[in-house]
Amino acid sequence: MSKRSADAADEQSAALKAGERPITEYPADEVGEFEDEYEDEFESEDEILEAGVDGRPDAEREEEEREAMDVDKQTFIPGRTKLAPGEVLSPDPTTYNMLHTLSTPWPCLSFDIVRDNLGDNRKTYPATVYAVAGTQAEGKRAKENELMVLKLSGLSKMERDNETDSESDSDSDDDSEAILEHKSIPLGSTTNRIRAHQTPNQSGDYSKPPQTITATMLENSQVVIHDVTPHLTSFDVPGTILPPSANKPLSTLRMHKSEGYALDWSPLQPLGKLLTGDNDGLIYVTTRTEGGGWVTDTRPFTGHKSSVEELQWSPNEKNVFASASSDGTVKVWDVRSKSRKPAVNVQVSNTDVNVMSWSNQTFHLLATGADDGQWAVWDLRHWKPSATSAATKASPVASFDFHREPITSIEWHPTDDSVVAVGSADNTVTLWDLAVELDEEENRDAAMQEVPPQLLFVHYMDSVKEVHWQAQMPGTIMATGGGGFGVFKTISV
């Protein structure tokens, strides 16, 4: 705020009580000029017209509006506008219903949310989320890497200035700090990817929680499978002491000769069926037997010319899966194939296809994210088998090049087949609604042509690696990055 100097009258005037008017004293033999107390409020008509609607000349007001428009043209757009040295972005709290950041001893490249028994469609606060993650301790401390079983609790709702007393009272613990608890399982190597799977309790006692198992792809090329059920249970049973045997893997898979990042559990195989892919372009299937053993088919699926970056089982066909590769293709496979070759082979990018997500609501929709920052949605009904091994071309249903850095994560909303969450190396998590369209008139009037109308929300997060929806808490997202974990819910979804 600019300073103003006091004039002579200000210096001579004493402080006045509220409501008092200054009184001018006149000599006894001189009569003061009559003062109209409304004189300042009602000037001539000419002055009223010149002042305009807000008491200022129209020219002055219009100049200010033009300056405001110039500022709008410089609005910060993630992925477009570069931060100056020392500048940081701060979130607007009015755009979030919930926003928390929690840190771990080591950053985590990958994590997965674990389904809990707290109920579906949860909208009350403070909220609780269970998850599993793998750490990235490097160099001489690589042996300190671990699988972390997490409980995030006390996740409170954002405070609102206009919130009523009854709304505040309904969430009495909202002011408490978020809490991150964890149980550790030693791994000895960096985690490239981790995924959780739940299977019905083998005892047949439905009062007991389902068994939660994890598969972790390590930098040393091994895949380790753990039962983390006791670790999850221990959070809610005070005094629980886990024996060393609880940290031992159920199985260690050694079929891969190179490290990999692609990993997925079948949602249609309750006991557990696992896909793994490596940097040599090989894909293996491992199945859990009735007796609890693990059997890997030694015949890999082959066809990719470079590393397999992502694997996804079909949400509705138990023998079908898709793979994405740094060779720019997405292939669709049938596990019953004796040739171990893809049924469909489509070139979807000229760069690495880093991530992929198969819609759980509309089974023929597949979303991909590439190294050039572009992400796209594909209709699998338009993909046709090829008579040769060469990849065919296809046109996406929708594609977006808003991001300027590689796409690092992508996931469909669990219940809304038009909403997608995207993580990018440009330090953002973006939310998109494919159902939004602008008509021609709106498009002409749009101020920011480079921002697609389907873009709902941009959340800033350092070095975003992976993003997942919490399916039991509508609209809630958890993400991992260089600064730890973020859990948030926006007003947009």
Distance of CA 172 to the CA centre of its chain: 28
The Cβ-side half-sphere exposure at 118, using a 13 Å CA radius, reads: 21
Together in a domain, 120 and 216:
yes
171's tokens: 């969430």
In a domain, 41, yes or no: no
In a domain, 353, yes or no: yes
- Cα gap 369→429, rounded to integer Å: 13
In a domain, 410, yes or no: yes
Together in a domain, 140 and 206:
yes
Domain region containing 325: 258-374
pLDDT at 451: 85
pLDDT at 439: 63
Together in a domain, 200 and 299:
no
* Integer angstrom CA distances of residue 232 from 25, 201, 204, 240, 261: 84, 14, 20, 11, 25
- Cα gap 246→224, rounded to integer Å: 14
The Cβ-side half-sphere exposure at 322, using a 13 Å CA radius, reads: 27
In a domain, 247, yes or no: yes
Together in a domain, 115 and 246:
yes
Domain count, the chain: 3
Among candidate residues 268, 277, 298, 274, the one with its CA nearest the CA of residue 287: 274
DSSP 371-432: TTS-EEEEEGGG----SSSSPEE---SEEE---SS-EEEEEE-SS-TTEEEEEETTTEEEEE
pLDDT at 59: 73
In a domain, 276, yes or no: yes
pLDDT at 283: 98
Together in a domain, 195 and 262:
no
pLDDT at 170: 47
Together in a domain, 228 and 270:
no
pLDDT at 415: 95
- Cα gap 391→327, rounded to integer Å: 11
Together in a domain, 152 and 218:
yes
In a domain, 313, yes or no: yes
Q: Which of 254, 273, 290 is the last residue of a domain?
A: 254
Together in a domain, 289 and 427:
no
Q: Which of 196, 224, 254 is the last residue of a domain?
A: 254
Ranges of the chain with pLDDT below 70: 1-56, 61, 64-80, 161-176, 201-207, 438-448
pLDDT at 448: 60
- Which residues 6+ apart lie within 8 Å of 105 measured at CB? 135
Q: Which of 228, 254, 280 is the last residue of a domain?
A: 254
Together in a domain, 412 and 453:
yes
Question: Tell me, what amino acid is at 131?
Answer: A
Together in a domain, 108 and 250:
yes
Together in a domain, 207 and 262:
no
Together in a domain, 408 and 485:
yes
- Which residues 6+ apart lie within 8 Å of 292 measured at CB? 202, 250
pLDDT at 76: 65
| CATH code of the domain in which 306 resides | 2.130.10.10
In a domain, 350, yes or no: yes
In a domain, 424, yes or no: yes
